[in-house]
Structure 1
Amino acid sequence: MTQPAPAWLRELAAARAHYEETFGWPVAVQVGQRQLAVALGQVLDAITMPAGLADQVNQQLGIAMLSGPVIAHPDGGRWTFLTQAATMMRGDLVDGLDGREVRHAGAGAYTVVPTESGDGGWRWISEPRPHQMLPSAYAVIATARRLCAASAAA
């Protein structure tokens, strides 16, 4: 006799199907961690930075009508911007921002995406919307660079 899947696993499977059907994201269930992760490098990439800088970047992207999905990490200290895949990248996209703890995760990496239950502490700062164009990774990095340069000059 087989047992039905536990409720948490059924919830993850339903959330995975939602992300894949609604947004076309390549999402995987990480059973051991009881979370979902999206593969980066083909459909989307991710830019992670400290929450304080990320909040400013998110506000500026909103003003420029370039905002997209943003995820808060469980520690609350970092946010991740989901972006278009940076396919034509030369060199390191975040050169010069290492001291500001700005990181680009692209091909071969994964990032966690929140689920309804909020298990694990991952949560949406800005939820994705159907048919929403993701911001360019370059726009997110350029905005972070501009804000960092302005704070250094002040």
Structure 2
Amino acid sequence: MELFADRLYLTTGHNVEAIVIPSGLSEQIRARLAHLPQATPAIIDPHNRYCTFLTALTNPYHTVPQPIQRQLALHGVTVPQPGTRVMLPRSDDQFGWRWACEPTPGRLRLPQRTLVLSAIRLSILEGADVVPA
């Protein structure tokens, strides 16, 4: 984590990845992941349009294949490249970036990217509305 322009952020690619999902679809994804033993940290943007899910790096690391990225993009879902800054919420800021789902206290444990992508693809296949990218 680093401080930039008086805001706390993390940079994807070292230990954490991010998946950005339109807020309507993100509610379905959070419900699908509710069975996990740890919380799936997710951050909502100030305008409540997108939710950024934090995920663990795949091991061994590989990028999301282009055909999958294109399919996800049709529904407004993006997987930022390593090195992307993700703003973190301030605990006292109710109108800015805020947690949709706070991380579980203690050592940060994130779900695998494939688990979150599977939940997204399942929601899309079951008929989630198409959101223009």
The TM-score bracket by the shorter chain reads 0.7 to 0.9
CA RMSD of aligned residues (A): 2.0
Q: Secondary structure at the match of 2:52?
A: strand
Find the aligned partners of 1:94 and 1:61 in 2 and give their Cα distance: 21
Q: Quick one: percent identity of the two aligned structures? A: 25
**Structure of greater Rg:** 1
TM-score using structure 2 length: 0.83
Which residue in 2 is equivalent to 1:12?
none
Shift of the 38–132 alpha-carbon distance from structure 1 to 2, 3 Å rule, reads: closer
Moved over 6 A (4+): none
Amino acid at match of 2:76: E
Shift of the 97–117 alpha-carbon distance from structure 1 to 2, 3 Å rule, reads: same
Please identify which structure carries the higher helix content.
Answer: 1
| 1:51 correspondence with 2:19 | no
Residue 126 of structure 1: which of 101, 109, 112 is its match? 101
The equivalences for 1:1-154 within 5 A come to 27-31=1-5, 34-65=6-37, 67-86=39-58, 87-89=61-63, 91-92=65-66, 94-118=69-93, 121-129=96-104, 130-151=106-127
1:142 offset after TM fit, Å?
Answer: 1.0
Shift of the 83–97 alpha-carbon distance from structure 1 to 2, 3 Å rule, reads: same
Find the aligned partners of 1:65 and 1:57 in 2 and give their Cα distance: 15
TM-score using structure 1 length: 0.72
Amino acid at match of 1:136: Q
Find the aligned partners of 1:60 and 1:113 in 2 and give their Cα distance: 23
Find the aligned partners of 1:81 and 1:90 in 2 and give their Cα distance: 15
1:89 offset after TM fit, Å?
Answer: 3.1
1:131 offset after TM fit, Å?
Answer: 2.5
- Paired residues in the alignment total 124
Which residue in 2 is equivalent to 1:9?
none
The structure with higher relative contact order (CA 8 Å, sep 6+) is: 2
Stretch deviating more after TM superposition (45-54 or 62-71) = 62-71
1:64 offset after TM fit, Å?
Answer: 4.7
Q: Secondary structure at the match of 1:54?
A: helix
Deviations 1:5-50, CA, capped at 9 Å, x for gaps = xxxxxxxxxxxxxxxxxxxxxx11112xx31110101110100111
Deviations 1:123-143, CA, capped at 9 Å, x for gaps = 011111222420111111111
Amino acid at match of 1:143: A
Find the aligned partners of 1:117 and 1:90 in 2 and give their Cα distance: 35
